[in-house]
């Protein structure tokens, strides 16, 4: 178990992941390297420390801000998830991990897209039969 957390390294990792997501989004490629509930954007280290809280759970660092929003009945609900192993990787290992993760996420998106198409095709067939029976 990790006894100390290198917040500076964590900040660097999160910025690299955030920058990569931004770079990909400019090419209309959307992946969530920090988790689907992440609102993280590249910040200064000082802001990062002031704004976020940290928790380690099951080999993952959860970087979050769930503070209440002033004058609203809502919270920030900003949760990012970073595997602890990323903090121990060299830059080269990190880049390899990131590319594999992107490939995996894109493959998952493609599988979901194919499944949605099949559902839509089935729904069209059902509606065509229903239309014929009118």
pLDDT for 127 equals: 95
Angle between helices 7-25 and 91-132 (to 10 degrees): 50
In a domain, 45, yes or no: yes
pLDDT for 68 equals: 66
pLDDT for 65 equals: 84
In a domain, 117, yes or no: yes
Query: In the chain, pLDDT over 90 holds for what percent of residues?
Result: 72
In a domain, 1, yes or no: no
Residue 15 belongs to domain spanning: 7-132
φ/ψ region of 22 (left if φ > 0, alpha if ψ in -120 to 50, else beta) reads alpha
* Domain tally, the chain: 1
In a domain, 2, yes or no: no
| Range 106-125 average pLDDT | 96
Neighbouring residues of 83: CB distance < 8 A, sequence distance ≥ 6: 59, 60, 61
| Range 115-123 average pLDDT | 96
In a domain, 126, yes or no: yes
Q: Cα-Cα-Cα-Cα dihedral of 37, 110, 106, 56, to 10°?
A: 40
Reply yes or no on whether the pLDDT at 85 is more than 90.
yes
In a domain, 59, yes or no: yes
- With contact defined as beta carbons under 8 Å apart, do 56 and 64 qualify? no
Strand 78-83 and strand 60-65: the pairing is: antiparallel
In a domain, 27, yes or no: yes
Summarize pLDDT for 25-67 with one digit per residue, the tens: 999 999 999 988 888 878 899 999 988 989 999 999 999 887 6
Distance, in Å, from the CA atom of 27 to the CA atom of 35, rounded to the nearest integer, reads: 20
């Amino acid at each position: 178990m990790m006894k100390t957390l290198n917040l500076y390294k964590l900040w660097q990792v999160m910025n690299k992941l955030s920058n990569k997501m931004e770079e990909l989004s400019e090419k209309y490629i959307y992946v969530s390297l920090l988790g689907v509930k992440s609102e993280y954007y590249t910040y200064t280290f000082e802001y990062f420390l002031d704004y976020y809280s940290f928790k380690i759970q099951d080999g993952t660092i959860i970087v979050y801000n769930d503070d209440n929003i002033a004058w609203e009945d809502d919270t920030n609900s900003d949760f990012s998830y970073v595997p602890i192993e990323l903090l121990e990787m060299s830059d080269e290992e990190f880049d390899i991990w990131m590319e594999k993760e992107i490939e995996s996420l894109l493959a998952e998106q493609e599988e979901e897209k194919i499944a949605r198409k099949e559902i839509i095709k089935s729904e069209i067939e059902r509606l065509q039969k229903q239309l014929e029976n009118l």
